[in-house]
Amino acid sequence: MKRKWFKEKAAFVLIFILIVAGCGSGNSLETVTGGGNSAASKQRIELSMLSSWSTDTERGRALQAVVEKFNQENEDNITVKLDINADWPSLQQKVKTMIAAGQTPDLFNYNFNPNDLSRQESGELLDFNPYMDEEWKSRFTEQDLQAMTVDGQLTSIPFEKAGILFYYNKELFTQAGIESFPATWDEFFQACEQLKAAGITPISLMTSDDAWHTTNLFTYLAASIAGTSVFEPGQSLDTPEVTQAAQYLKQLFEYTTPDALGGNYSVSSNNFLIGNTAMIIDGPWLIGSISEEMIPSIGIAASPTFGDGKVQPGFTVTDAHTPWSAAKQTSQEKEEAVVQFLKFMTSEESSKTFTIDGRILLSMRLELNEDEVSEAGPILGQYIKTNSEAPESIVNIVRILKPAATSKLPSLLEGLILDKFTPEEFAKELEAANQ
């Protein structure tokens, strides 16, 4: 009996000693035993982030810098790991496959197309509405937030929406006697005539692949005629306004290079970069390809208008929204970590890193002072200023067409240029392919 009493007393004393020892070392009994909700007992949350932005690009290095800064500031509880696939179309297909398999990535970006809502309709994406407080909401325009809202759920955070602007060679303009970039389309056609008369090819265009430079021009023309809602989802493309835009586009092919017909992005952009053409319509990614010798000659301008109020002067065509989305999480802590990281990524400080170092034009509101604009460089500085002053915008038509219409577009453009289609027939064929 005494032996049992001594054993129980010894066990009690041992437990007491362990408690005192644990408290003396600065740990609670919960930490020692692994219980409770203390910070020390929580497991580190790891987020996988799929992106095509490889570190051999400016945007990739900017993304890596932002991720590393976040990881440093949250080293005790959150780690974001980059998973890079530089093949952008392949990455988007991979994400779709993962979503269909119920293995949605923690974080991923993609080209938003209102005619392809398979991601949003999967039920696998996180709805950010409960987390969209006034401070975070103020980083975006209401237009962009609405564009990303599907069936009442905000399953994508606006991020990249690169403005597509007019690059022009000021030296070639001067040679043709043109003092400034045209403000109206009448002036634009007159400038093309002056350039052509001076032996200078006015503009780079293309018809292959997604016909990027040509569809930029076509979108600018259509919006100038009908307003920025001309290509709203569900709206017919077989309209007098689209027909008129096709007519103007056909005329402008008289002012481009012979290799525009069948030419791809590389051919079209190279014609501008080596001085074969005086203008090109493209995004900020072209800047990195401009030679040091050519930089002083390059000007950036917003589009002409018809001066009839259908669009506001300075409006822009943009690339597709490239937002960030996230998987629904079974863990509340992981869900909150995703939101914490995306708030960090879309903050003022991170936005400056992406814009100045990564040369990315973003959806977030951003104000740069003169020193920061200067730091961006002479061309990007002009680009940021012109883009930030845009009063309204429209997404390039090729980014909102259905796949069948996108694949048929090159042949339709070539048919238009070669007189196989009238502008009216072009509009009808494009609408039929988009059904």
Q: How many domains does the chain have?
A: 2
Question: Beta 107-109 vs 45-51: how paired, if at all?
Answer: parallel
Are residue 148 and residue 171 in the same domain, yes or no?
no
Q: Which amino acid is at 216?
A: N
Q: Is residue 427 part of a domain?
A: yes
Q: What's the confidence (pLDDT) of residue 350? A: 96
Angle between helices 403-417 and 423-433 (to 10 degrees): 170
Q: Is residue 27 part of a domain?
A: no
Closest CA to 247 of 400, 431, 394, 426: 426
Are residue 138 and residue 189 in the same domain, yes or no?
no
Q: What's the confidence (pLDDT) of residue 285? A: 84
Q: What's the confidence (pLDDT) of residue 108? A: 97
Q: Is residue 227 part of a domain?
A: yes
Strand partners, 79: 46
Strand partners, 318: 163, 395
Are residue 196 and residue 296 in the same domain, yes or no?
yes
Are residue 172 and residue 271 in the same domain, yes or no?
yes
Are residue 131 and residue 176 in the same domain, yes or no?
no
Residues contacting 224, CB < 8 A, separation 6+? 185, 303, 304, 305, 306, 310, 311
Q: Is residue 4 part of a domain?
A: no
Residue pair 231/115 in contact (Cβ under 8 Å)? The answer is: no
Q: What's the confidence (pLDDT) of residue 337? A: 97
Q: Is residue 37 part of a domain?
A: no
Give the residue ranges of the chain where pLDDT is below 50: 1-41
Q: Is residue 35 part of a domain?
A: no
Are residue 348 and residue 405 in the same domain, yes or no?
no
Q: Which domain holds residue 73?
A: 43-159+327-366
Strand partners, 298: 169
Phi and psi at residue 327, to the nearest 5°:
-75, 150
Q: What's the confidence (pLDDT) of residue 35? A: 37
Joined tokens for residue 399? 């980014």
Name the strand (E) or helix (H) holding 316.
Answer: strand 316-318
Name the strand (E) or helix (H) holding 78.
Answer: strand 78-84
Q: What's the confidence (pLDDT) of residue 42? A: 62
Q: Is residue 299 part of a domain?
A: yes
Are residue 241 and residue 384 in the same domain, yes or no?
yes
How far is Cα 161 from Cα 71, in angstroms, rounded to an integer?
A: 26
Kindly give the residue spans of alpha helices, DSSP state H, lying in 150-290: 170-175, 185-197, 212-226, 240-252, 265-273
How far is Cα 14 from Cα 6, in angstroms, rounded to an integer?
A: 12
Q: What CATH number should be reported for the domain holding residue 247?
A: 3.40.190.10
Coil, strand or helix: which one is 270?
helix
Kindly give the residue spans of alpha helices, DSSP state H, lying in 25-57: 29-33
Are residue 213 and residue 135 in the same domain, yes or no?
no
Are residue 81 and residue 139 in the same domain, yes or no?
yes
Are residue 263 and residue 352 in the same domain, yes or no?
no
- The whole model's pTM is what? 0.74
282: left (phi over 0), alpha (psi -120 to 50) or beta: beta
Using only C-alpha atoms, what is the Rg of the chain?
Answer: 28
DSSP letter (8 states) at residue 75: T
Are residue 334 and residue 259 in the same domain, yes or no?
no
Q: Is residue 36 part of a domain?
A: no
How far is Cα 57 from Cα 9, in angstroms, rounded to an integer?
A: 69
Q: What's the confidence (pLDDT) of residue 81? A: 97
Are residue 239 and residue 100 in the same domain, yes or no?
no
Coil, strand or helix: which one is 369?
coil
